[in-house]
Amino acid sequence: MKRELRVLLLFAGAFALLYNLPVESERFTGAVLEALKLVRWYAREHVLLCLVPAFFIAGAISVFVSQASVMKYLGAGANKVLAYGVASVSGGILAVCSCTVLPLFAGIYRMGAGLGPACAFLYSGPAINVLAIVLTARVLGVELGVARGVAAVSFSVLVGFVMAFLFREEEKEKALAQASQPPVETKRPLWLDGLFFASMVGVLVFANWGKPDVEVGLWALVYGAKWWLTAAFAALLAVLSVLMFRLKAWEVLLAAVGVAALAAVFRGNPVVPFAAGTAAFATVLFRRGGEAGEWLSSSWTFAKMILPLLFGGVLAAGFFLGTPGGEGIIPGSWVASLVGGNSLAANFFASVSGAFMYFATLTEVPIVQGLLNAGMGKGPALALLLAGPALSLPNMLVIRSIMGTKKTVVFVSTVVVMATLSGAIYGALF
């Protein structure tokens, strides 16, 4: 009876919502359009180039990386300096957005990584981005850029320590369980596995290499050659896959020739050959079966788990907060008015609003610049830069599915509180 009553109330609530939709309101229809714009942009810019390589890496972690290796460097009983050092450095090297880091986080966490190091990795991936920090210093000022860099590196470790301390009883149980497990023999030498993962990380990093403001310097040089570098790492991955999983060389070669032909035809749109190459590679893995098939199956499992939540979260973020070029249901003027000055409330609001917004890599800088021009204080600007890139509504939805509601609330709250305090301190000093 209670179940039927809940269903009835759910139907009644849905009917009331649909019956009273304010479709005549320009702000409502504009917010719906902004939500669709954001999810379209996300699909075009992040799914193929960011998430798909990340799913392959996460799947490879779960299949090819032994649990003993993960526990040795990142496990609950691992050396703390080593564990947090590896987590923060590896996350920072990837320099991905708050959504792309999720499959990688899920992979290492489910393979036995301690909660603290896993959360340090989860924060450092999107937050410790060298180019974003340099761009912050160049556009928003050296002081803010340095403050962002120092705080982001510190946060990655502090967040991990806080999570490990608050859930220390669970971590002790995990450490004891891991200590009782027998060592796992590795099938391949460590250098080969390392080269295999480096090839996938190379594809992920260079396919998403951002365009610099100036066309000189090392970053601009790499940007000019980004697709050649991506192709080189993809070729290395193909060769290693043939050697490691005994794929049929003629199938891999045929796929490579087809991708090269598409690259010549679609020179102005490299996403087409990238998508074709990914599909061809997945087909070869599927046909081979065995370890290769397990890798593909694991990657697909991560995709099924994460993609629906991400797209739902992106739609919600676009509806409520809009896009960089338009407003959502919440007026941007309200946000600008609430983050003026350097009060604790302004810093807290900047942290919370940043935590729920979705920032693609580097987009937070022009957004903060616009808010500063609208009257935002320097403290809230730093708070937004520390909480925004590392969190988002889609990010939270997926984290909850991985480590539960309680841990997700604590993780998000820790980031928001530290960002708020950092912003308040920075604003008072500068």
Q: Is 182 helix (H, G, I), strand (E, B) or coil?
A: coil
Under 8 Å between Cβ of 127 and 87:
no
CB 399 within 8 A of CB 411: yes
pLDDT of residue 348: 94
Residue 95 has a pLDDT of 62
SS3 376: strand
The pTM of this model reads 0.74
Q: Name which residue leads in pLDDT, 187 or 429.
A: 429
Residue 285 CB: number of other CB atoms within 10 A? Answer: 23
For residue 412, what pLDDT is reported? Answer: 95
pLDDT at 273: 92
Instruction: Please report the pLDDT score of residue 222 as a whole number.
Output: 86
Radius of gyration of the chain (CA): 23
Domain boundaries, the chain: 29-179+187-429
pLDDT, greater one: 230 or 430: 230
What average pLDDT does range 67-91 have in this prediction? 74
pLDDT in tens, 172-213: 777 766 655 555 555 677 788 889 989 998 898 888 887 776
Q: Give Cβ neighbours of residue 91 (< 8 Å, ≥ 6 apart).
A: 101, 120, 121, 122, 123, 124, 125, 128, 156
Instruction: Tell which wins on pLDDT, 361 or 208.
Output: 208
State the chain's mean pLDDT as an integer: 83
Average pLDDT on 119-139 reads: 79
- Whether residue 156 has pLDDT greater than 80: yes
Pick from 78, 57, 91: which is nearest to 193 by CA?
A: 57
Whether residue 217 is predicted with pLDDT greater than 70 in this model: the reply is yes
Q: What are phi and psi for residue 323, nearest 5 degrees?
A: -120, 170
Residue 91 has pLDDT above 90, yes or no: no
Question: pLDDT digit string (tens) for 399-425?
Answer: 999 899 999 999 999 999 999 999 999
Q: What pLDDT, on the 0 to 100 scale, is given for residue 195?
A: 92
pLDDT in tens, 9-54: 988 988 898 888 888 888 888 888 888 888 888 788 778 888 888 8
Averaged pLDDT for residues 352-360: 83
| DSSP code of residue 25 | -
Proportion of the chain above pLDDT 90, given as a percent: 23
DSSP characters over 44-61:
IIIIIIIIHHHHHHHHHH
- In this structure, are residues 307 and 51 in contact, taking their beta carbons and an 8 Å threshold? yes
Residue with tokens 């391949």: 188
Mean pLDDT value of segment 211-234 = 84
Compute CA distances 7 → 4, 14, 85, whole Å: 5, 11, 49
pLDDT score for 182: 54
The dihedral sign for the CA sequence 203, 242, 266, 56: negative
Distance CA 93, CA 90 (A): 5
Report the C-alpha dihedral over residues 53, 56, 61, 65, rounded to 10 degrees.
-110
Taking the C-alpha atoms of residue 85 and residue 106, their distance in angstroms, rounded to an integer, is 19
Written as one letter, the residue type at 352 is: V
